[in-house]
A and B are shown apart, each in its own frame.
Chain A
């Protein structure tokens, strides 16, 4: 017998289910009056420094149908690349945001500031990006991906560099559709499947 490790095992994931909004975005479920407002309602507060941007898109299943019941969470640094809580971080940037796609159209909208570059492990920097976590009915463990920007220098980003099939890099890059406006679709399965991350 070898020595026993004293580490624990992570709790297994289960799907968030179709009613995830009750717990995470109660007003979307029609549950009012328990909390003053939904947690993570805004990525930024008025007065946040940097370029204001709006990102819209949909999450598509393997048949091309836009999910109406997904819950998404995003996490990002401020315009200078500092995460909330770091010394010197912009106090108007919450960094965290939670939202669901519109129940009719399946289109989600994220209003935020464009994030700055953040350090990479072992030196260098990562290209500006927003981390996205998606849970829904039928998703057994939350899916992690990232939004990068087509009008930023993405060369040498450590995550994008690791994608072997170079054409798949495109699935992580938001397309500019106007001043301060970007479009980013997520395809869970099949043609142009989004790259999902295990970080």
Chain B
């Protein structure tokens, strides 16, 4: 049992709509009918917790975790770090953050990826970590390459890292993507463009963070994440309509 209280309803306007003709797969995978909206219940207000015993020492180091430290991955070495906060601007501590990504050439280690850029024998492409008591997380990885995908004839994904965040309630569950400052492909990507408010898309673009870069070792990008918050429950027991 974690923090109690109903979740603040999602502001769906900042999220991508389900249906988007430019992202072709969404055309057949988007519900036609409206969502059923109501206040959260204990089912969504609780969620799984994961302890430190779940994690291995290299889980958040994608440069080394595929070979368990024997040999490093090839590419631009980067630190990706930031905080997980809720809508009330409070840190979300001890929550699981998972990432996955392509290698430096834009190739995923997945049996379904047939792009002819080669696999890196020293790179797997997934990592996970728990936020600390202040909501901080960090990953060491290599910057993923752009890659082509079958949508329109010449569509290329910008460089990106997929993020999966749990929070403390199943209703906070979120999957998103982090993009990199200055990538010209962001403006051409139909998946990035599923977010209709440009200022919201910009929140997924991580700035270069020289303050966290380590000289002669790695550059850094900063990516903060906000999950749904909880409403205060002072008037919870009032009779409905009063």
Contacts from A to B (Cβ < 8 Å):
6-24, 26, 29-31, 33-36, 39-40, 61-63, 65, 67, 69, 73, 75-77, 83-87, 94-96, 118-122, 126, 129, 131, 133, 135-144, 146, 158-159, 162-163, 188-190, 193-199
Given A19-B108, A199-B40, verify A6-B194 contact (CB < 8 Å): no
The answer to the question of B59 belonging to the interface, with a C-beta cut-off of 8 Å to chain A, is: yes
Q: Which of A13, A119, A126, A193 contacts B33 (CB 8 A)?
A: A193
B124 & A31 in contact (Cβ 8 Å cutoff): yes
Given A34-B65, A162-B38, verify A16-B32 contact (CB < 8 Å): no
**Minimum CB–CB distance for B189 against chain A, Å:** 10
A140 & B17 in contact (Cβ 8 Å cutoff): yes
User: CB-CB < 8 A to A94: which residues of B?
Assistant: 48
Q: Give me the 5 closest cross-chain CB pairs, A-B, nearest first.
A: A23-B100, A138-B25, A138-B29, A96-B48, A140-B16
Q: List 26 A-B contacts (CB under 8 A).
A: A8-B85, A10-B174, A11-B227, A12-B201, A16-B175, A20-B100, A22-B124, A30-B110, A67-B29, A69-B112, A73-B173, A76-B43, A83-B42, A119-B42, A120-B41, A122-B236, A122-B237, A133-B170, A139-B18, A139-B26, A141-B18, A143-B31, A188-B28, A189-B28, A189-B29, A199-B44
A29 & B170 in contact (Cβ 8 Å cutoff): no
User: CB-CB < 8 A to A11: which residues of B?
Assistant: 174, 176, 203-204, 225-227
B87 & A10 in contact (Cβ 8 Å cutoff): yes
User: CB-CB < 8 A to A69: which residues of B?
Assistant: 112
Q: How many A-B residue pairs have CB under 8 A?
A: 274
Bound-state Cα–Cα, A86 to B227, Å: 23
What are the interface flags for B14-54 relative to A under an 8 Å C-beta threshold, 1 for contact and 0 otherwise?
11111010011111111111011111111110111110001
The answer to the question of B200 belonging to the interface, with a C-beta cut-off of 8 Å to chain A, is: yes
Q: Which of A23, A40, A162 contacts B99 (CB 8 A)?
A: A23
In the complex, which residue of chain A has the Cβ closest to the Cβ of B59? A35
Bound-state Cα–Cα, A70 to B119, Å: 24
Given A8-B86, A20-B100, A141-B16, verify A199-B32 contact (CB < 8 Å): no
The answer to the question of B125 belonging to the interface, with a C-beta cut-off of 8 Å to chain A, is: yes
A sample of 5 more A-B contacts (CB under 8 A), given A19-B112, A29-B112, A139-B18, is A8-B229, A15-B26, A35-B56, A121-B42, A144-B44
The answer to the question of B188 belonging to the interface, with a C-beta cut-off of 8 Å to chain A, is: no
The answer to the question of B98 belonging to the interface, with a C-beta cut-off of 8 Å to chain A, is: yes
Q: Which secondary structure dominates chain A's binding surface?
A: loop
In the complex, which residue of chain A has the Cβ closest to the Cβ of B239? A122
B31 & A75 in contact (Cβ 8 Å cutoff): no
User: CB-CB < 8 A to A15: which residues of B?
Assistant: 23, 26, 175, 177, 191, 194
B111 & A29 in contact (Cβ 8 Å cutoff): yes
The segment from B4-12, B72-80, B129-137, B212-220 that touches chain A is B4-12
Bound-state Cα–Cα, A188 to B32, Å: 8
User: CB-CB < 8 A to A75: which residues of B?
Assistant: 43, 46-48, 170
Bound-state Cα–Cα, A85 to B44, Å: 14
Given A19-B108, A140-B16, verify A126-B43 contact (CB < 8 Å): yes
User: CB-CB < 8 A to B200: which residues of A?
Assistant: 9, 12
A12 & B86 in contact (Cβ 8 Å cutoff): no
**Minimum CB–CB distance for A3 against chain B, Å:** 15
**Minimum CB–CB distance for A138 against chain B, Å:** 3
**Minimum CB–CB distance for A104 against chain B, Å:** 13
